[in-house]
Amino acid sequence: MSSNKLTTSAGAPVADDNNSVSAGERGSLTFDNFRVFEKLAHFNRERIPERVVHARGTGAYGTFRLNKDLVDYTIADFLQKAGTDTQVFVRFSTVGGGQDSSDYARDPRGFALKFYTNEGNFDLVGNNTPVFFLNDPAKFPDFIHSQKKNPRTNLPDPAASFEYWANHPQSLHQMTILMSDRGIPLSYRHMHGFGSHTLSFWNSKGERFWVKWHLKTQQGIKNVRSEDAANYPAFGAQQDLVESIDAGDFPKWTVQLQILSEAQAKTLSVNPFDLTKVWPHDEAPVQDIGMLELNRNVDNYFAETEQAAFAPSNLVPGIGASPDKMLQGRLFAYQDAHRYRVGANVNNIPVNAPKCPVHHYQRDGAFAGMCPVSGKVPNQGSEVNFYPNDRINRGAPAPVPSVAEPPMPLEHNAWVKPYSQDEEDYHSQAGALFRLMNDDQKQQLVDNIAGGLSTANSTIQVRMLEQFKKADPDYAEMVVVALADIEEKNNVSARVQ
């Protein structure tokens, strides 16, 4: 016999959980089936809205160990002394598909880390690619719409994707990565991670530095070819991560930074705040600063992985944002998405809760009760709920001026208006990436592009070929050949039929 009593959600013992109360053996149910009603009502509400992007994900806990003092660059407490361990929660994900999609879709992979530091949570929200398709948040909803299913047929629509990319050359670099051999990672353990955005550090002297985060897998890069992807189970990447951690085969990543002073950033050969570009390593060398290890699976997928909420605005003293326009938009959009999807007090949920004391003047809303992890007083208790107030000397929360970020000057004669970035060079880095590939990688790239581009009309094809040619003439020529091969195969098939 079990030592635990079955109860209702209010704690009352349940005598029978397998049979409804009815008026006779074959009669109708009665209205006093309140225990059944509770089960059914809760069941109807078991799902929260899935994420619009990054819906399909897998999470695990682990440790970040710092192996290099960064006191000269930042006051962030977890980056001061080599040997410091910080607990983390990491969520991997595909981006475009829903929860019912495959782990082996050709898609970027989300790579988000929540560092539970002594001064609050720092969220590093990135992907398995160092760049992104866009550098302005105004374009983001339209971009995602173009990657989703056709609004009429509800079927995948690669022509729509290429129509969008044909109108946005800034996507060429990321699209080249997506269509390359790295477009379908074998597992979440066998891919790199990148913070992608430019963030800032500042030290105790008030000096600011611009930084980019890199996480390099110690398991080695492994990918799946397009023609093999259908042979893998839809849940394969999630299964791989869970089983490897359960078996004690803990995945690890080397954590690296690129760091530039404000003066160095002004002479960088690319815009340091353009998310479509990488910082050249000869101008901003990569340096090892630590190691990430994942060593504990979640106990409950929904409570932890599904309700985990990451946001670029979760910053800690010593780490700040930058003029990266996509980052600026996400500082608002991510937290707004979580408040809509999970609730106003999303950070009261244990997986999101800081491990340090929390004191603020926010009140009420869903999940306003005590968080068992942080030990928050329910709904911040009975004390004053506004600021400024006259209770500071009695322990009411007060700002901490010493953690203020140093001021950042605006550009000289900065006029407030929309600024187009269409004239930026979006081809050179895509071409450089193409030339780094071996022959097999190049062939995979152009075959993957041609498969989708062949479904688009000739106008879109011409505009895309112009982009490829600007990146590298061989890039364009190989796509032309791949498109011709597809057309020939379609003609042969038509004649056979």
Q: Rounded distance, CA 478 to CA 250, Å?
A: 41
The verdict on whether 352 is a catalytic residue reads no
Are the beta carbons of 184 and 105 closer than 8 angstroms?
yes
Tokens 């098939």 belong to residue: 493
Catalytic residue status for 438: no
Secondary structure class of 189 (helix, strand, coil): helix
Read off the tokens for 385: 């709920």
CA 10 to chain centre: 36
Rounded to an integer, what distance in angstroms lies between the CA atom of residue 187 and that of residue 109? 10
Task: Name the strand (E) or helix (H) holding 211.
Answer: strand 208-217
Both tokens of 35, joined, read 């225990």
Distance CA 132, CA 270 (A): 15
In whole angstroms, what separates CA 220 from the centre of its chain?
Answer: 21
* Nearest in space to 177 (alpha carbons), one of 427, 493, 430, 494: 430
Q: Which of 121, 127, 345, 347 is catalytic?
A: 127
Assess contact for 242 and 296: CB atoms under 8 A. no
Identify whether the C-beta of residue 370 lies closer than 8 Å to the C-beta of residue 393. Answer: no
| Active-site residue, selected from the candidate residues 18, 19, 42, 54 | 54
Spatial CA neighbour of 433 closest among 294, 280, 214, 286: 280
Q: How far apart are CA 145 and CA 148, in angstroms?
A: 5
Active site residues: 54, 127
